[in-house]
Amino acid sequence: MSNGTAAALLFRDMVTGKENKFEKLYTPSRFYAHPSLKNFLVQNANVVGQLIKGKLDSPNTKPEDLAKGEGAVITLDGHRKGAYRDDDGKVHIVDTTCTHIGCEVEWNNGDKTWDCPCHGSRFKFTGEVIEGPAEKPLQKYDYTMMDNLTSEDSGY
């Protein structure tokens, strides 16, 4: 309500050619972009890009393709998951959606971790948080290898 009164007084002064001390405050061109704003926008555009890229990615790798000590983003039952086969041959499956804001984590073969490209969260191959900002672990899924099943066992 007070802004309406201020605007009316300002318009009156502008029309009559009288100087008004609030003119600069209300001018539409008063916005000043701080130099750090560009960096902020670039970083957030990158996060959005990573978020979209991860959601559209559909890898062809399957759990049975993984060698011992190998991890990858896979497709399991039509969904994007993360898989790692440990040295004993057990496959660990996690949801690749980062628990921070929802970007898709990527496999880091050097450290055997799931790393988020958006804000740097890192997770163990079992999904537990190593480093934030994420605070919750990746969701885990049970996966029983079907390697030892014959075609008769699986019903096909």
Minimum CB separation from ligand FES for residue 115, in Å? 9
CB of 146 vs ligand FES, minimal distance in Å: 32
Q: How far apart are CA 41 and CA 44, in angstroms?
A: 5
Block residue for tokens 């001018």: 27
Round to whole Å and give the CA distance between 125 and 137: 10
Would you say 72 or 118 has its CB closer to ligand FES?
118
Give the nearest distance from C-beta 113 to ligand FES in angstroms.
Answer: 13
User: Within 10 Å of residue 73's Cβ, how many Cβ atoms?
Assistant: 19
Under 8 Å between Cβ of 90 and 104? no
Residues engaged in binding ligand FES (CB under 6 A): 98, 100-103, 116, 118-121, 133-134
